[in-house]
Amino acid sequence: MRFKKAALSVFLASCMIGYTHAQTSQDPGKLNNNATLDELIGYALRNKIELKQVQIDKEIGEREIASALSGWFPQINATGSLAHAIQIPTNVIDGRAIQMGQKNTSSLSVRGDQAILSPELFQASRASQYIREQNNLNIESARINTVVDVSKAYYDILASEESIHIINENIARLQRQYTEANARYETGLVDKTDYKRAQISLNNAQAELKTAKEMRHYKYDYLKMLLGMPVKEDISLSFENQALESNILLDTTEILNFANRVEYKQTETLRNIQKLNTQYQKWKFLPQLGAYAVYNANYFNNKFGDLYSNNFPSSSVGLSLSIPIFTGTRRIQEIRKSELQEERIELDLQNLENQIGTEYSAAMASYRSNMNAWRNAKDNMELSEDVYNTIKLQYDAGVKTYLELMTAETDLKTSQLNYLNALYAVLSSKLDIQKALGTVEVTE
């Protein structure tokens, strides 16, 4: 049967998750005509908006790291002042009132500081690796979701295309049956009931075809959204066979390893960051030590025009030490708070393990159930085809009624659509299992 062979070869084409994308020299902003699933995934990994956003987030994170670590470099600042005294300050010395200072003063100060011992900078230095890891995991998560979502959308469109083909074949059969029933009525062999029923079935099939085409249009737009492609652009897909029927199978004995899940890795990274924050709160008991150098240029003169004619400089170098002695138990409270947040993240990890286990169990149950439904639908499709062909011959010979022929035709169409839906469900649930296992491989 043409439909069975076509559906099998097409749906089983791209079931393997080990995607090997062809390296082409095409513009990354364009998609080839008759694009394969591999090409769709490659395009999405280059152009999907969410992926571009997480990549920008990674770059922002690098700037934040660089900004935090810049404190290890010398910090140089310059300040200046210019003042005109309307009344010069007066001091009393030995009973005499003496004006101290001059009307015009100006100063320029340059100070350089170098951190030597700083808890904040220690924390920033050690946190940088975890921030980078977190940003990379965010990108990995977005890429995995892209592969799974694009694959499911591709399979869904394929199901729609084959459904439309089935409906068109059904319309062609109904058109022939209507023509034959009308001819029999015209010749007086049967009453008008048969061709009236044929007309009703034909009208229903045509309405069903219109609905299916509208849904197909939406599914193509949804795929474009996943790809990061403008909705107005045209897209054409290729459904050529790329794999064997055995690719629908999955090793159901593979052991679930929580550490393979990107969500688990992300939570572990948060735990490491929180542990580092706890250590940072303890580091706050340490003193802060730094070196400095200061140069001051000072100018004084009663005449403003001669203010900068003479400079009275001063300069110094030294060490600065700040020792926190008592902060009202604030540091102790912050340490305890951070430790409690660590405990909470540990519970998050336990909860995530339970969620992943449940997700895997549900995906496996769905896969096994869909596999049984697919095998049953495959058998029913073959049986309904035989039944329809037999009843069609008997109807042509005048043995069976038109109602029986319509019933057989309806059963055939239903079994074909059930087969398609079951096959799509198997492929979709297989992707869910691989996602639950954390074995989705993303290559571009």
Of 91-105, 117-131, 312-326, 408-422, least confident by mean pLDDT is 91-105
Rank 1-10, 233-242, 329-338, 422-431 by mean pLDDT and report only the highest: 329-338
Which residue range(s) make up the domain with 228?
2-74+118-289+326-437
Which segments within 9-62 are labelled E, that is strand? none
Identify the pLDDT of residue 444. Answer: 61
295 pLDDT more than 90: yes
3-state class (DSSP) for residue 405: helix
298 pLDDT more than 70: yes
3-state class (DSSP) for residue 168: helix
How far apart, in whole angstroms, are the C-alpha atoms of residue 241 and residue 234?
A: 23
CATH number of the domain at 182, please.
1.20.1600.10
pTM (predicted TM-score)? 0.79
Which one is predicted more confidently, 90 or 133? 133
In a domain, residue 105? The reply is no
The residue to which tokens 């034909």 are assigned: 202
- Nearest Cα neighbor of 270 from 380, 134, 136 is 134
In a domain, residue 145? The reply is yes
10 pLDDT more than 80: no
Identify the pLDDT of residue 29. Answer: 61
What share of the chain has pLDDT > 90, as a percent? 54
Of 12-26, 80-94, 102-116, 338-352, least confident by mean pLDDT is 12-26
Mean pLDDT estimate for the chain = 86
Identify the pLDDT of residue 19. Answer: 37
The pLDDT-based confidence of 238 (bands split at 50, 70, 90) is: confident
The pLDDT-based confidence of 241 (bands split at 50, 70, 90) is: low
Identify the pLDDT of residue 190. Answer: 67
Of 29-33, 102-106, 154-158, 162-166, least confident by mean pLDDT is 29-33
Tokens (6 digits) for 313: 């400089």
Are 289 and 116 in contact, with CB atoms under 8 Å apart?
A: yes
Mean pLDDT of 316-340: 93
In a domain, residue 382? The reply is yes
Binning the chain into helix, strand and coil, the percentages to the nearest 5 are 65, 15, 25
Q: At 197, which amino acid appears?
A: R
In a domain, residue 110? The reply is no
Of 96-100, 246-250, 255-259, 327-331, least confident by mean pLDDT is 246-250
Radius of gyration (C-alpha) of the chain in whole angstroms: 39
On the 0-12 / 13-18 / 19+ scale of CB atoms within 10 A, 150 is buried
Identify the pLDDT of residue 240. Answer: 67
Which segments within 198-313 are labelled E, that is strand? 288-301
How far apart, in whole angstroms, are the C-alpha atoms of residue 402 and residue 57?
A: 66
Q: What is the DSSP letter of 304?
A: G
- Nearest Cα neighbor of 51 from 226, 200, 205 is 226
Mean pLDDT of 199-219: 92
The pLDDT-based confidence of 207 (bands split at 50, 70, 90) is: very high
Per residue in 411-443, pLDDT (tens digit) is 998 898 888 888 888 888 999 999 999 988 776
Instruction: Give the number of domains in the chain.
Output: 1
Are 199 and 205 in contact, with CB atoms under 8 Å apart?
A: no
In a domain, residue 186? The reply is yes
Tokens (6 digits) for 218: 């939406």
In a domain, residue 432? The reply is yes
Identify the pLDDT of residue 50. Answer: 93
In a domain, residue 313? The reply is no
The pLDDT-based confidence of 237 (bands split at 50, 70, 90) is: confident
End-to-end CA distance of the chain: 37
In the sheet that holds 75-84, the strands lie side by side as: 75-84, 104-117, 288-301, 314-322
In a domain, residue 152? The reply is yes
Of 6-15, 241-250, 293-302, least confident by mean pLDDT is 6-15
Which one is predicted more confidently, 30 or 115? 115
How far apart, in whole angstroms, are the C-alpha atoms of residue 21 and residue 201?
A: 45
Identify the pLDDT of residue 61. Answer: 95
How far apart, in whole angstroms, are the C-alpha atoms of residue 227 and residue 229?
A: 5
Identify the pLDDT of residue 247. Answer: 57
